[in-house]
Amino acid sequence: MIRVFPLFALLILFSTTASAFNKTIPMYIRDDVYIDYTEFVKNKDVLNISDFSGKTVRRDVVDMIIAQQALYLGGFEYTFNYIPGKVNFRNTRMLQKGQLLMSFDSYWKSDALSLSKDVHISSPVVRLGEYFAGIYTHPNNKKVLNVSRLEDLKPLTAVSTPKWKTDWRTLQSLPLAEVVREDEWLSMARMVNMQWIDFMLMPFHNSNDQSFEMEKIHLVPVPDVAVILQDSRHFVISRHHKFGNQAFEAIQKGLKILRQRGTIKKAYTEAGFFIDQSKYTILNKG
> Does residue 13 form part of some domain?
no
> Does residue 14 form part of some domain?
no
Q: Would you tell me how many other CB atoms lie within 10 Å of the CB of residue 268?
A: 25
Domain that holds residue 147: 132-230
Q: What span, in angstroms and rounded, lies between the C-alpha atoms of 40 and 55?
A: 8
Q: Of 144, 112, 134, whose CA–CA distance to 239 is shortest?
A: 112
95 and 150 in one domain?
Answer: no
> Does residue 257 form part of some domain?
yes
> Does residue 9 form part of some domain?
no
> Does residue 2 form part of some domain?
no
The pLDDT, as a whole number, for residue 209 is: 85
User: Is residue 24 packed enough to be buried (19+ CB in 10 Å), middle (13-18) or exposed (0-12)?
Assistant: exposed
175 and 40 in one domain?
Answer: no
217 and 138 in one domain?
Answer: yes
Residue 82 contacts residue 36 (beta carbons within 8 Å): no
Domain with 204 in it: what CATH number?
Answer: 3.40.190.10
Strand partners, 82: 27
122 and 32 in one domain?
Answer: yes
Number of domains, the chain: 2
Instruction: Render each residue's pLDDT in the chain as its tens digit; 286 residues.
Output: 334 444 444 333 443 343 344 689 999 998 889 999 999 999 899 999 999 998 889 999 999 999 999 999 999 999 999 998 766 667 889 999 999 999 999 999 999 999 999 999 999 999 999 999 999 999 999 999 999 999 999 999 999 999 999 999 999 999 999 999 999 998 999 999 999 999 999 999 887 789 988 889 999 999 999 999 999 999 999 999 999 999 999 999 999 999 999 999 999 999 999 999 999 999 998 6
> Does residue 5 form part of some domain?
no
